[in-house]
Amino acid sequence: MITVYFDGLCYPRNPGGVAAYGYLIRRDGELIHQGLGVVGEGRGMTNNVAEYEALKAAAQWLEGCGIEGRITIKGDSMLVVKQMKAEWMVRSATSRKYVPEIRKLLAGRNVSFVWVNREENEEADELSREAYRRYRKEMKRGPQKL
């Protein structure tokens, strides 16, 4: 069985901070892939953007690798999980953008979404924090001479 954990943050302020994310993918409990990244900083950046970008990146990886079988996707964002399960309406511009994209990436797969509390999502949370730290470190270094 494949299990995906995803998380995102927008720091130091939401909205308008740095939107960063992390995700990890396990097969029968063993880590097979992880990813992290920064969406951007400033206007338009929110924790929801970061959460959806994490899920989208994980879904793209699954699609690219041709992963088959049952996939359980876990996250601590109730909004994202409930919208992906079609239990909550998709109203915001952010959700209207991401939900169809991610559903298309996951189409035809045996996927279930599960909300988990923050403590069960610590590894994905740490990856999103690492993405933020790396971004800040690069920003402090400034442009590099070639």
Residue at 98 is within a domain: yes
Say if 125 falls within a structural domain. Answer: yes
Whether 146 maps to a domain, the answer reads no
CATH number at residue 31: 3.30.420.10
CA-to-CA distance for 77 and 91, rounded, in angstroms?
A: 16
**Positive or negative torsion for Cα 81, 85, 88, 94:** positive
Of the candidates 33, 55, 138, 140, which has an alpha carbon nearest to the alpha carbon of residue 99? 55
Q: Tell me if 94 is assigned to some domain.
A: yes
Domain extent, residue 111, equals 2-141
The number of distinct structural domains making up the chain is: 1
Per-residue pLDDT of the chain (146 residues; tens, 9 = 90+): 999 999 999 999 999 999 999 999 999 999 999 999 999 999 999 999 999 999 999 999 999 998 889 999 999 999 999 999 999 999 999 999 999 999 999 999 999 999 999 999 999 999 999 999 999 999 887 665 55
